[in-house]
Chain A
């Protein structure tokens, strides 16, 4: 049995709206195994995006611990968390947020430059990664020249080029048509399968379910169900 890539224990997070404090994550605990594509589902406002933010080092929890790759994430200072994200984590967001001025390969190479990859290697790696997501012939395109699905694949290439241990994806197919969404799902799936990257994906999109190794359903800040290979593994609200 692998040790979990992510271990969250009794995570609480609430938001204040006016005089009212609303709990979003209510003592949630879970383990995410390495090399799996885990899908987090649930109705709007159930806390799935907040869970993603807390597990990825973007949002500090009110209480609880998060260990990623053996590191106690929220004991680090902000700069250390940034360095940790740079080295180990990739993100894919619902909106692609590509720089309008940069060509596809430059979007990828830009991040590689920050990781410390030299210019020539970054250029080569960017082309290879874009080819891996099926964009070999679009490397010189600007975002405005790409379809939504192609832009999202550039965003995936940007996230995976530095070979992160984990990729967090937030509604990666919600802004795409069916065909484009399918290509993006395939890219994420292949990423988890071939490179052993742990992929944690938050989505409403039911098409993603059959590609996921594991599906977590969240409601009211708690895990409502936890299914593996589309088979229910029980009603869970504790460490899996």
Chain B
């Protein structure tokens, strides 16, 4: 069979360009929105993703790291006794009020108190050995490079957190937080910055690393408290990261906003693509009418239009992916949190396929105008 759809598309590519650009634009919008959302929500689990800890112990019912409440150090004991647990350390998380010497006013910060030793688990993937060593100095803090302007400070300068002077010992990347600024310091410094300086036998979390080859799920179940009124709970890192992302997605309204915006992009993309594709098909209505006069069924012609829609989708999606790669590179150079995985890209591609099917069906409906009787004067 002669490849009418493909040949017409290539020959009349200018007619199909608006539809292709409409699909590409809708795809890019969906991809960028998804990547930003994943990147921003990923910030909520940054403490989990950048650490080497496989188990987290926190207050029961905690939805996300920022909502942690003090847990007694005795909760870590059970973990220390488990033969498959290699290392346990405390992780303090508290709010702070940052004041730099410059006239920047106050900035809300999230203080992470960690074990800064080289073998420490927290932020193991984000902090170099040099930065960890720097954190061992009293009152030393590390912040994200992109947050320096917001904090009005620079490496080596001092600032005041909760009335206590700290010194910016260094900067890292990939530490940006959702709704505030992450400040990393040692457990000792964090306790000095805390308003409750007497409470040294409580931490927001205890994190643990397992011996190689051990299942986190099995160990988590084993070290979980037995009684229902326990004052702590145990999650695997994956579970806790999912809890955090789900909290931001479903509990904050951001998810509904994402779905709404996605729906608007879908509908507007489908409308524009459908109109553009219908206009492209309308250019050959007399030729299609001739085929109908010669006995070719409307269903056969509809297949041609749908095939063209699929080619338009493929080209639009490829263009969107190429542009998306540029967007991701630009975003990363500017420390904008973006994250795109294969599953999300596949969902976007599926949405675009939906856009194109709708567009193709709308465009195919223009074939209804291909009444062969109109060809007779």
Residues of A within 8 A of B (CB): 49-50, 52-53, 56, 58-59, 79, 82-87, 89-91, 93-95, 97-102, 106, 109-111, 113-114, 119, 158-159, 170-171, 202
Contacts and interface: CB of A to CB of B under 8 A. Distances in A.
Interface string B130-165: 000000000000000000000000000000000000
B295 A97 contact: no
A109 B1 CA distance: 8
A172 B44 CA distance: 73
B377 A97 contact: no
Interface stretch (B34-42, B233-241, B282-290, B334-342): B282-290
B373 A97 contact: no
A170 B376 contact: yes
Contacts of A100: 8, 11-12, 284
Interface string B1-22: 1101001101110000000000
A134 B174 CA distance: 73
Contacts of B286: 95, 97
Given A59-B373, A91-B372, A95-B286, 14 more contacts: A49-B376, A56-B293, A58-B293, A97-B287, A98-B287, A99-B287, A100-B11, A101-B7, A101-B8, A101-B11, A106-B2, A111-B294, A113-B1, A170-B375
A82 B292 contact: yes
6 contacts: A93-B290, A99-B284, A100-B11, A100-B284, A102-B2, A111-B294
Nearest to A97: B290
A91 B112 CA distance: 81
B328 interface: no
Interface residues of B, number: 26
B83 interface: no
B294 A52 contact: no
A68 B331 CA distance: 70
Interface of B: 1-2, 4, 7-8, 10-12, 284, 286-287, 289-297, 300, 372-373, 375-377
Contacts of A87: 295
Contacts of B7: 99, 101-102, 106
Contact of A101 (B10, B289, B297): B10
Contacts of B284: 99-100
A99 B8 contact: yes
B12 A83 contact: no
Given A101-B8, A101-B12, A110-B2, A91 B377 contact: no
Given A99-B287, A119-B1, A82 B297 contact: yes
